[in-house]
Homo-oligomer: A and B are copies of this chain.
């Protein structure tokens, strides 16, 4: 939480007015903290995890790849040297938040989340405020309607919740590529995204030193980190989809789970039988994970190994509390392909997989459509809730038109606001560079702020009791010409300040 200090004073106490707002920046947003990136941020959850007594320190890394990278002295200069030498793993039972929620246990993570969601609203709203309780959080997590992504190997993470009874969250994608491969710049992008309000960050790296880059990002991240293990697995087999094996993939899951990734996108719902539906499409398969798995299935004439091994995948995830975000490998890549048989077929399979994951106490999100015209958005939300049993919906956009490359943060924020109002729990940001190139730091910021707008607009529309208070504080400051308060209350004070033209006559200011 962050407290915004206003220039007005409380009439009774004479104290300055303040407004508490949800904040994702952790120690990076705390003036009293200095973060040494080579040491990472403080492991807030360390004691909580230890106290549960359900995990043990391993004697070393369990993945072949992790060990191989560790032994490679040529990587020493790239390596994050952290004190916590060995990862943890479950002893015996699942260690997921869902498992505990179902046992009736309120974890410290659930308590933290409840406090965080409430944003000290009792101070603003008084007795009329119905706070979110830790018990309610527990109940939502137990029912699968919400998830708390919190890998036991990511103790630096400040717990947060994704579910439609809570504030709408946003994710920012970062990651190097074969053409841009600099660890420092990816860590910097991650912190930049968090600083501006990303609730989670996905590392989609495909370039050099993916393993080491991820370690640096995780150790410096107060927000959950997601990944698509398939991308790294593909790099390990030289980029040839047909050379992928369950063994390479499995080792990658363990490697990343032991580093502390909080949720994995897994394209297990793309079955062979759905592939022919994509032949009728205008833009085929546009999801990278989807196209990799479709190539593999076609080359081997076999069912998707992520589907056939899904139970084993879940058992690995349950031992670290990695959430699964079921990837929509068949999401439409154009308005033309929206809501077609391929997309909805996969969605039904995702529902089947949701039940399997839940049976192993693994937390689940469902990834949703990319390109969908406005009049077809509601159907997506309804189908997701029905077929996936109210699991949180995590959407890309939807982009409501395809004719505005360079402005797809806007085409997607329009659809994102609408689907979040209808019940999507997390929105994946889109930057202005979508479809055109890789986002730089400025694009990351534009994407994050744009999606904070979409999420916040939905929070207001959904009637979240606290969301509108910041708008009210802003409006009051605007009406009273308190410019500094307006900047401080803005999602992006820097831009508001830079745009403000001090030469404005009073009257023009009042055009609101």
Contact = CB atoms under 8 A, between A and B. Distances in A.
B374 A457 contact: yes
A282 B495 contact: no
Interface string A173-202: 000011100000000000000000000000
Interface in A405-460: 405-407, 409-411, 413-414, 417-418, 421, 432-433, 435-438, 449-450, 452-454, 456-458, 460
**Contact count band on A:** 35 or more
B461 A414 contact: no
A306 to B, nearest CB: 19
Given A286-B510, A414-B417, A433 B335 contact: no
A472 interface: yes
Interface in A475-512: 475-476, 478-479, 486-487, 489-492, 495-496, 498-501, 503-505, 507-508, 510-512
Contacts of A288: 507-508, 510-511
Given A178-B505, A491-B403, A499-B406, A282 B472 contact: yes
A181 to B, nearest CB: 12
B435 A402 contact: no
Given A499-B436, A504-B179, A414 B333 contact: no
A463 interface: yes
Contacts of A470: 403
A411 B456 CA distance: 10
A283 interface: yes
Contacts of A153: none
B453 A401 contact: yes
A119 interface: no
Contacts of A495: 405-407
A45 to B, nearest CB: 30
B177 A508 contact: yes
Nearest to A374: B461
A370 interface: yes
Nearest to A508: B177
Copies of this chain in the oligomer: 2
A223 B280 CA distance: 42
Given A414-B413, A463-B375, A282 B476 contact: yes
B460 A499 contact: no
A182 to B, nearest CB: 15
A267 interface: no
Contacts of A287: 511
A486 B405 contact: yes
A284 B479 contact: yes
B478 A410 contact: no
Given A450-B407, A492-B404, A179 B505 contact: yes
B433 A499 contact: yes
Nearest to A400: B457
Contacts of A400: 417, 457, 460-461
Nearest to A453: B404
Given A403-B453, A406-B490, 4 more contacts: A179-B505, A288-B511, A400-B460, A405-B495
Interface of A: 177-179, 206, 282-284, 286-288, 291, 333-337, 370-371, 373-375, 400-407, 409-411, 413-414, 417-418, 421, 432-433, 435-438, 449-450, 452-454, 456-458, 460-463, 468, 470-472, 474-476, 478-479, 486-487, 489-492, 495-496, 498-501, 503-505, 507-508, 510-512
The 3 lowest CB-CB distance pairs between A and B, nearest first, are A437-B501, A334-B475, A406-B495
9 contacts: A206-B507, A287-B511, A403-B471, A404-B452, A404-B492, A405-B486, A406-B492, A414-B417, A436-B496
